[in-house]
Amino acid sequence: MPTAGTRVARRKRAIDRCDSRASKETTVNPASPAAQQIETRLRHRYEEIWSDIRRELGKHDEQRYRDLVQGAGDPEDDATANLLVDLNLSEVDRDVEELRAVQGALGRLRRGEYGRCQNCGQQISPARLEALPHAALCIDCQTRAEQSRVSTQSL
């Protein structure tokens, strides 16, 4: 069974392989057919996210929760209703965060900055952009940001 150190080393090698593939130019000329394809894909994702947000907000409107709470009058039902509202809002928050990321990617595409890490300026690997077209950070910077966020949350 691999140790934690072995898993970390394997992940680092995988990241290095991705970064070596990123050496080819991945910024996109805003007028190119590739940019138009990317823009279409990003705009499609934008519409999907908006649809998800509208569906989530419509699915769990305030009246529905009020009916649930008033119907039983039980404190446990109140807690359940509050939990459902919180879960719904968490989903919407994640969708809004992704919506902002897509908007940012569309802006970078228009400015000719799409495909460059917003932190270090290096190229973002084509595989990463294919998997996550609105990625703003390369794998190394994203990993560091996530590690920093985790260590900050644990304080």
The half-sphere exposure of 11 on its side-chain side, counting CA atoms within 13 A, is 10
Instruction: Give pTM, 2 decimals.
Output: 0.64
- Could you give phi then psi for residue 107, rounded to 5 degrees? -65, -45
Look-up of token digits 């595409």? 109
Q: Dihedral through CA 134, CA 27, CA 124, CA 114, nearest 10?
A: -20
Tens of pLDDT, residue by residue, the chain (155 residues): 455 455 555 555 554 554 444 334 456 777 788 889 999 999 999 999 999 888 887 766 655 655 555 555 555 666 666 666 666 777 888 999 999 999 999 999 999 999 999 999 999 999 999 999 999 999 999 999 999 888 777 66
Query: How far is the C-alpha of 106 from the C-alpha of 76, rounded, in Å?
Result: 45
**What pLDDT is attached to residue 60?**
62
